[in-house]
Amino acid sequence: MAVTEGDLVPLLDRALAAVEDLARRDPVTADGRPAQPRLAALAGELHALRDRAAAGGEVWREEIGALILSASEWIADLDLPMIAALGAVARAARRH
């Protein structure tokens, strides 16, 4: 089944829910610091992308890829549900 750009909003909602779920578990970064500030920044970026998609704007696969790469570098225990949710958005987003 092909994913349309309209499908990005629910996918971004799932990614946001996964970030919020991880935040409730008080994770730490790879260097042992609280991950809350980074998770808040990630959630902020996802909200901005969601707002853009909801308004009919384009969300580029490379933007999501950069978020995935960044998160995988600082999160201590890679959260697979969060990364999978971000991956679903990347697969549905437009190629630049």
Q: Name the residue with tokens 């970026």.
A: 45
Which domain does 45 fall in, by range?
5-92
Tell which phi-psi region holds residue 56, choosing left (phi > 0), alpha (psi between -120 and 50) or beta: left
| Number of domains observed in the structure of the chain | 1
Prediction pTM value: 0.85
Predicted pLDDT at 3: 43
Predicted pLDDT at 6: 61
List the chain residues with pLDDT less than 50.
Answer: 1-4
